[in-house]
Structure 1
Amino acid sequence: MKLVSVFDAFLKDTVNLNSTRVKGLEDSTGSIEDFVNKSTWGPEIDSWMPQGSWAHKTIIKPVDKGEFDADLLVFVHPVEGWDAARYINELYNVFYANGTYKSMVRRWSHCVTITYATDKKIDIAPVIINRGGFQRLEVCNRDSNAFERTEPRQYTNWLITQNSYSGSNSFRKVTRLIKYLRDIKTTFTCPSVLLTTLLGYRINILDQYGDEFSDTPTALKTVFGRLDDWLQQNATKPAVTNPYLTSEDFAGGWTDTQYANFRTVINRYRGWIDEAYDETGRNASIAKWRRVFGDEFAADVVIEEARSVSKAAFDALTEGVSIAALTASGAVRDLVTLVKAYGSSALPREFDFLPHMRQPTWRRATAQNLSVQVRAKLYRSKGVGDQGAVQSMQVLRAGGWLYFTAHTNTGVVYPTSDFTVYWRVTNTDQAAADAGQLRGEFNDPHEGNGRWEHLQYRGVHQVEAFVVRRRTDELVGQSAPFRVVIE
């Protein structure tokens, strides 16, 4: 499911750099430009230009809530007798001599950086115009004391053109989403300029006439699919050049190992994105998109869906039972009471696919799907006072403990020598939501492959077993939900 409005909210609230920080960036760069223009740096300044994510409108909010990076180019005419390193060193000296910037400035191979603690870093890079009388632009490498060709204006214009082909700023939105995915998952390494270029190459002039970029999730699916197709066609690391300067290979700093990992991870995420997009159930689709983008995706929707299962059940039952009858039974908007009166038929639609339920990330075994049955025993306290076996949907009082085990179809407990059983415990309804204990994540087993759970929150909850073969780390079996009703 596309969930266009959910993606819009996710971009606005979580991914995009907020307008206050953008305004602060503009104010800071204005102050830097004014300071350098009036300084004794040396070169004659021609112009200033934002570069990188800021200029390309693909900048995102840092996922660690720390500083974000912005690039600022200063185009200057060459100074007779200056080598490449001197442009960087002299610019650094100007900032270091100033009381405001002294503690904020550092120098690197190609730029001087001003750091505004807990807010932003601005990299200022000199670009030399037509050195030696040749028509060219060059940046300065302080480490090697060499001038290097660059084409920042044409590269930026190329990205603007690619974005226009996608329509509705789809390219920029998708780039921000994939940068967020990179930063939140930390499963692959890909510098922003390389990632942006790779994505830019996946768009062509004909896209303005099709529907592959009709909305943000569709554009994401399109770009990810094209990127994965291209990567699978390139078993070894290819060049990823600046389209206006073929000598500049953005993939040059990528190791073969990093490329191989990127190729593998993108293929996996492509499968997850396709699965989330194609899912027809809203709750299940949200859960699958959250496997891609993490817990911040649709966070408000997720909490409300889990909190309001009683209301959803009541509303669904009114289609076949009169409100008067429901009210008379004392079952108004309380799922536990509804279940006691009407059994499992009271459970709302998609109860087994609530969006806060984490989705499996193990590779599924293709040749094997083992039967998995969950059994539970009730104890007065953890490990003490065996009360006997309980059944799914059996109504239990709060305070006790359940011990869950996973069995084969012949009743044998899955052995720890060959398998690890992971348990997905999903709470629902008001009490668990108020306590911040909706859960839905995967938990390790406690003793052997079993799992202890405390009966705490009024509601109908679910426990599922996922059996993973140790040798291959493949998911080979998954149980049906065991429903725990706590009154």
Structure 2
Amino acid sequence: MKEDLSKFLRAVADDLDIPGHLYEDAVLKYTDVGEWLAQEDSELAQYEPDIYPQGSFRLGTMIRPINDAEEYDIDLVCHLKIKKENTTQKELKDRVGKRLKAREDIEEILNESRRCWVLDYPEPFHMDVLPVIPNIDQLPNGILLTDTELHLWQFSNPIDYAEWFKEQMKVVLREKRAAYAKRYQMSIEEVPEYEVKTPLQRVVQILKRHRDIYFEYDLENRPISIIITTLAAKAYANQPDLYEALISVATRMHEYIEKRENDEWWVENPVEEGENFAHKWNEYPKRREAFLNWLNKVRDDFISASQTESLTKTAAALSPTLGRSVVSRVASSLGIQSNIRSPRPAIRSIIVPKLDDIIDHCLPPDFHENLLVNAKVEIKGDVYRRIGGKYLWKLTDHTVPKKIAIKFVAETNVQPPYEVRWQVVNTGEEARSADCLRGGFDPMPNDSGNIRWEETEYAGTHWIEAFIIKDGECVARSSPLYVRVRRQS
């Protein structure tokens, strides 16, 4: 039963997580904003602006809003290399805002908040862009934050915190990344972080959703995510089983709450000595009491769930704890009979047109094939923001968005000299309407080597093949590499 419960909880965490296509769309969006801020004609270019994620998006612990009509909240840092004595918090924020407003499409979705600029995209997410400068007392990754309601600069270190968080789960993370790398024939360093989830990340997601339900009508006492994340990471012991990790973490989290001088309660930032995440508990004691009562409820709820007679009863037991809509979707996906009914969320689905039945535009080779037994060629792909632009992630069998570039590399054991011929075949109504089904054979310029760049313009299932031509004959031919370009509805 516990094994089944772990499977059920993994499905819950997967349902709570930001979908992969939305994650990638978010990366594309903030990469685009970063490039705009750093363009040569930008007043900010001299400060080398750099946008990167922080918080749950960086940690892999983001969860969908409790109300499916709401949006994902993605936190970003806009880092400018300016000395503290050369700017004020207001000046820093205004500089970034001025550049953002200088592009019409960004200005249309731009709003100002207390600490940051908010980009409200049509997609079901918005991004909070927080202007920061280096903290010279905590280099290389310490930062100082803007806050219009506070006179003193606030400090933070999201990069080092994320590295500390990963260190707490390094054993399981290494195993999962190695398995993913083996599956897609890439190095461990090339594995996209969002593709691998550890029990700790899933535990944090489940705890955060349990918290959202438990404190739905008591927002004043609801524990902040950084306290939950920090205590959970400290309590995690690299258990590979999700249910065991969840119970162990929920049982031990309170042990890492400190009581210091003057009877003050502390949950210290592990990478910023002197920062107390729980400082509000000393001002409002009921918040600590509410936190401990909630932890007891977490343990009771999931221990009780493990003692049910079937997953159907487990789903019913966890429905009020994790949310009716989440449990309903998970039960349906796992084929569990359930009386729980809930409307599906209003998140746009991935649509990829299937491979066309009619592919007569795919031409046969116009050269003689004399495939050698030991000659091999394989195509690998990398995704970039644009041709020659910023690297994003490795191409796998997942869908890719429009308006990105893919660098294909033909890896072969054939000894040079040889020529690489490429065949690119588009399918789908969009490519057909644009008269761009292609299907012929393209030689590459002499200086391109084994590399070919393509941009994703049309939704559909397309493919590319590489042919190694030596002494006028094709001696090696790759398998087709399929690229599924999605559209959203």
TM-score interval, smaller chain:
0.5 to 0.7
Change (3 A) 1:256 1:104: farther
- Deviation digits for residues 336-355 of structure 1, max 9, x if unmatched? xxxxxxxxxxxxxxxxxx87
> What aligned pairs does 1:452-467 form with structure 2 within 5 A after superposition?
none
Structure 2: state its 5+ residue gaps.
177-197, 342-489
Name the structure 1 match of 2:80. 76
Computing the radius of gyration from Cα coordinates, the structure with the larger value is 1
Name the structure 1 match of 2:22. 21
SS at match of 2:273: strand
8 Å contact 2:258–2:266 — kept in the other structure?
no
> What aligned pairs does 1:8-407 form with structure 2 within 5 A after superposition?
8-12=10-14, 14-38=15-39, 39-41=42-44, 44-45=47-48, 47-65=50-68, 66-78=70-82, 81-117=86-122, 119-129=124-134, 137-165=143-171, 169-187=198-216, 189-203=222-236, 207-208=237-238, 213-227=239-253, 238-253=265-280, 255-296=284-325, 298-299=327-328
SS at match of 1:69: strand
- Count of residues in Structure 1 that have an aligned counterpart in Structure 2: 303
SS at match of 1:36: helix
Report the AA paired with residue 82 of structure 1: T
Instruction: State how far apart, in whole Å, the 1-side matches of 2:48 and 2:115 are.
Output: 17
> What aligned pairs does 1:439-454 form with structure 2 within 5 A after superposition?
none
Q: What displacement does 1:111 show? A: 2.2
- Deviation digits for residues 89-117 of structure 1, max 9, x if unmatched? 22122223432222322333432221225
SS at match of 1:241: coil
Change (3 A) 1:113 1:181: same
Instruction: State how far apart, in whole Å, the 2-side matches of 1:133 and 1:191 are.
Output: 24
Report the AA paired with residue 240 of structure 2: S
Report the AA paired with residue 176 of structure 1: Q
Q: What displacement does 1:23 show? A: 1.6
Structure 1: state its 5+ residue gaps.
309-353, 358-487
Change (3 A) 1:90 1:287: same
SS at match of 1:73: strand
- Deviation digits for residues 160-202 of structure 1, max 9, x if unmatched? 1112255551100111111222234434512222321221221
Name the structure 2 match of 1:6. 8
Name the structure 1 match of 2:431. none
Range that drifts further, 262-271 or 153-162: 262-271
- Normalised to the residue count of structure 2, the TM-score between the two structures is 0.55
- Deviation digits for residues 291-347 of structure 1, max 9, x if unmatched? 422324553686799998xxxxxxxxxxxxxxxxxxxxxxxxxxxxxxxxxxxxxxx
Name the structure 1 match of 2:368. none
Change (3 A) 1:76 1:232: closer
Instruction: State how far apart, in whole Å, the 1-side matches of 2:89 and 2:340 are.
Output: 54
Range that drifts further, 57-66 or 225-234: 225-234
Change (3 A) 1:249 1:110: farther
Q: What displacement does 1:132 show? A: 9.5
Instruction: State how far apart, in whole Å, the 1-side matches of 2:48 and 2:332 are.
Output: 54
What's the RMSD between the two structures over aligned residues?
Answer: 3.5
Q: What displacement does 1:243 show? A: 0.5
Change (3 A) 1:108 1:249: farther
8 Å contact 2:259–2:266 — kept in the other structure?
no
Instruction: State how far apart, in whole Å, the 1-side matches of 2:258 and 2:339 are.
Output: 32
Report the AA paired with residue 304 of structure 2: E
Quick one: higher RCO (CA 8 Å, sep 6+), 1 or 2? 2
Instruction: State how far apart, in whole Å, the 2-side matches of 1:62 and 1:137 are.
Output: 28
Report the AA paired with residue 41 of structure 1: L
- Deviation digits for residues 447-466 of structure 1, max 9, x if unmatched? xxxxxxxxxxxxxxxxxxxx
- Normalised to the residue count of structure 1, the TM-score between the two structures is 0.55
- Deviation digits for residues 47-73 of structure 1, max 9, x if unmatched? 432211111011122231221111222
Q: What displacement does 1:8 show? A: 2.9
Instruction: State how far apart, in whole Å, the 2-side matches of 1:245 and 1:229 are.
Output: 20
Change (3 A) 1:230 1:284: farther
Report the AA paired with residue 98 of structure 1: R
Report the AA paired with residue 245 of structure 1: E
SS at match of 1:249: coil
Instruction: State how far apart, in whole Å, the 1-side matches of 2:139 and 2:6 are.
Output: 50
Change (3 A) 1:156 1:267: same
Report the AA paired with residue 252 of structure 2: R
Instruction: State how far apart, in whole Å, the 1-side matches of 2:293 and 2:314 are.
Output: 23
Report the AA paired with residue 214 of structure 1: P
Provide the identity percentage.
Answer: 19
